[in-house]
Amino acid sequence: MLFYLSDILETAPYFIDGVKKGLVLAIPLLGMVITSYTTGALIKKNGTVMRWLINIGMVLMTASLGLCIFFYSKSIYVFIGSLTLSSIGTGLLLPCLNTMISGSVQREQRGMITSIYNSLRFLGVAAGPPLFGWMMEKSDQLVFITVTILALITLGLVFFLIKPQGKIGGNGGCGRNRPIWYNGGKLRLSRKGGSHHDACFFPLSNFIRFEAANPSLLQLRTAA
């Protein structure tokens, strides 16, 4: 969308170029940067909060892009405001996706998964300008109708398919149904079928109440 904004700012009746154009383009980006920083600082790997923020971000993007269908040629101020609102939605979305993707896989797989995720993002960045340029040759309104429909489809997929709960990647890959080893005042949760050498450490005090309430769920063993 910034590609489209950059293009129309250079034409009549605006004729904005150079540093002035850069300052105008920085308005939506500033909204995204501030929102991304704030979101990343507040989510604390909380899956429920992430799901809410992802859905809110997608709603903002869909609504603001839908407004652009009607106001892109009528008021440059409303248009820039709508793009800024869409960028704020993106700022809510990206930190949550980054945390979910990197926190939902084992450490040894994170490098590959992160590289695939970033490759797809930059593939979209590279394909965007020529694709938008082609659609702008057909119709400016086609650009906004297309991105609004895509955002609406994505909102539906996110709402029904992405449902994280609890803490994302909070224990470094340790999960349920794994043996718990006792050793010197600490409990450590091992991988399923693994030994006490392949484990995650937790303070014993964290498990006292859990053990008392659910003694059958714990497998206490003396670490060799």
Nearest to 188 by CA among 166, 207, 169: 207
d(CA 170, CA 156): 27
- Residue 200's φ and ψ, nearest 5 degrees, are -115, 135
What is residue 115's predicted lDDT score, i.e. its pLDDT? 85
Work out whether strand 220-222 and strand 180-183 pair parallel, antiparallel, or are unpaired. parallel
Residue matched to tokens 């224990």: 171
Q: How confident is residue 169, by pLDDT bands cut at 50, 70 and 90? A: low
Instruction: Indicate whether 184 pLDDT > 70.
Output: no
Q: How confident is residue 76, by pLDDT bands cut at 50, 70 and 90? A: confident
User: pLDDT digit string (tens) for 32-45?
Assistant: 999 999 998 888 87
DSSP string, 88-120: HHHHHHHHHHHHHHHHSS-HHHHHHHHHHHHHH
Determine which of 16-20, 93-97, 112-116, 198-202 has the lowest per-residue pLDDT on average. 198-202
Question: What SS3 state is found at 167?
Answer: strand
Strand partners, 182: 187, 222
User: pLDDT digit string (tens) for 124-163?
Assistant: 888 887 888 888 888 888 888 998 999 999 999 988 888 8
CB contact at 8 A, 183 and 222 = yes
What is residue 135's predicted lDDT score, i.e. its pLDDT? 86
d(CA 135, CA 143): 6
Q: How confident is residue 56, by pLDDT bands cut at 50, 70 and 90? A: very high
What is residue 18's predicted lDDT score, i.e. its pLDDT? 84
Instruction: Indicate whether 63 pLDDT > 60.
Output: yes
